[in-house]
Amino acid sequence: MSHDAEVRAIKEVPKLEDVKTLVKQLAEESRGDTLELLALLRFLESLHREISEGLFQDSMPNNRQALYALLKDIEANGGWPYIPRMRLLAFLQYLEEDRSAYGSPGGNTTDGGTDHQ
């Protein structure tokens, strides 16, 4: 969702601002605690899935005109909500960069020097 679409959504449903504030506060309280932040992200993803696969699907339009109106709204207001997952490759690259930053040799392995990818 674009920032403008997010602002519009929050204005349309004022309680969302409270939810956003609470989530940001929880994230700030967990700053530096990777496991706490990961738990928060997993919770948000689970909640997203629960709403998307349950309440949202149950509320889908049952006629063409209503479906068209929904699709136009989705197109006009920032597209489909999506929570991306960190890709494993990006995570491994991050670890490699971190290891390099601390001076660890990049090719060290425990299997006789063979670097498997």
Q: Please write the tens of the pLDDT for every residue from 12-28.
A: 677 888 999 999 999 99
DSSP helix/strand/coil, 96: helix
DSSP letter (8 states) at residue 51: I
Residue 71 lies in a domain: yes
Residue 117 lies in a domain: no
Residue 97 lies in a domain: no
Nearest alpha carbon to residue 51 among 19, 7, 22: 19
Q: What is the dihedral of CA 24, 27, 32, 33, to 10 degrees?
A: 180
Q: Are 83 and 44 in contact (CB under 8 A)?
A: yes
Residue 35 lies in a domain: yes
Is pLDDT above 50 for 65? Answer: yes
Residue 106 lies in a domain: no
Task: Count the domains in the chain.
Answer: 1
With vertex at residue 76, the alpha carbon angle to CA 18 and CA 41, rounded to the nearest 5 degrees, is 40
| Structural domain range at position 63 | 3-80
Per the model's pLDDT, the better-predicted residue between 79 and 4 turns out to be: 79
Residue 114 lies in a domain: no
Residue 45 lies in a domain: yes
